[in-house]
Structure 1
Amino acid sequence: MTVVVAYSADVYGKAALEFGATEASRRGERLVVVNDTKGDAYVDKRLAAEQEIDALRAELSRLDVETEVRQDMVPDVAEAVLAVAAESSATLIVVGVRPRSPVGKLLLGSVAQRIILDARCPVLAVKPDDAG
């Protein structure tokens, strides 16, 4: 069994990772951190740089559970997270959520929203403490 974290290199992803790591340790389950990108922009601020991934792996190695960090270029980030959850028999997906305007909710897709609606296991949406 596995806890999957949809990770982005920002405060929202860090909040999700913190909760996901705690939950994986509490449950005694494997932790898989997914930091994927569509690769459709020159700079994807949510994709962690190589140094950040190395630091993340070092930090996760201190946990008392098996961990894995995945970072791939995929056509659909939400679908990729859901696929990882399915293939790893996830018992929980943790995703960070960010505020969006009403127009943003209408016009723009949300990775978190799609994961919440389409997941076959429970999904926990978290936000950083300072997000209000």
Structure 2
Amino acid sequence: MYHAVVGVDDNEERAVACARAVADLPGAETGARVTIIHSFTDDPSGASAAEIDSVREATVYLEERGIEVDVTGSSGDPAERILDVASAADADLIVAAGRKRSPTGKALFGSVTQSVILNADRPVMVVGDTDG
């Protein structure tokens, strides 16, 4: 059995693309466990990660394929939280979605995926852009 940590933001298409990538791994239907993490930057209503549409969509996709799913929420820097969860769970793989950004956008806003790739101590699978 292998364990993947999937970082999910608010975008449902990217979340399902990450779930699909995990489900498509060899043996996933019989030997995978997934922890989906959503990191809140602002949560004034006190929502749980499981209430976020993108998290629900990814969870349903995986569970329909017989894959065990845990959901966790956190606050703070998303890249750091993804790495923390992966380390604490001794995950075999981190999955994150990539998206196209202009060079200026990258410089101004950074990239959670880029930060995860640069700081991870385990394999990272980047799922392609779904925005166009």
TM-score (norm 2): 0.77
How far apart, CA to CA, are the structure 2 residues paired with 1:90 and 1:68?
Answer: 13
Is the 8 Å Cα contact of residues 95 and 126 (structure 2) preserved in structure 1?
yes
Aligned to 1:14, the other structure's residue is in SS state helix
Matches within 5 A, 1:53-132: 53-54=55-56, 56-72=58-74, 74-128=75-129, 131=131
1:12 Cα offset (Å): 2.1
How far apart, CA to CA, are the structure 2 residues paired with 1:62 and 1:26?
Answer: 10
Aligned length: 126
1:16 Cα offset (Å): 1.3
Is the 8 Å Cα contact of residues 7 and 37 (structure 2) preserved in structure 1?
yes
Moved more, 58-67 or 102-111: 58-67
RMSD: 2.8
Q: Deviations over 1:11-50 (max 9, x none)?
A: 222211211233371571211111212218x7xxxx9782
TM-score (norm 1): 0.77
Structure 2: which 5+ residue stretches go unaligned? none
Aligned to 1:15, the other structure's residue is in SS state helix
Identity rate of aligned residues, in percent? 33
Structure with the higher strand share, 1 or 2: 2
C-alpha distance 125-27 of structure 1, shift in aligned 2 (>3 A): farther
Structure 1: which 5+ residue stretches go unaligned? none
Q: Deviations over 1:59-99 (max 9, x none)?
A: 43333332101123x12111000011001111111111110
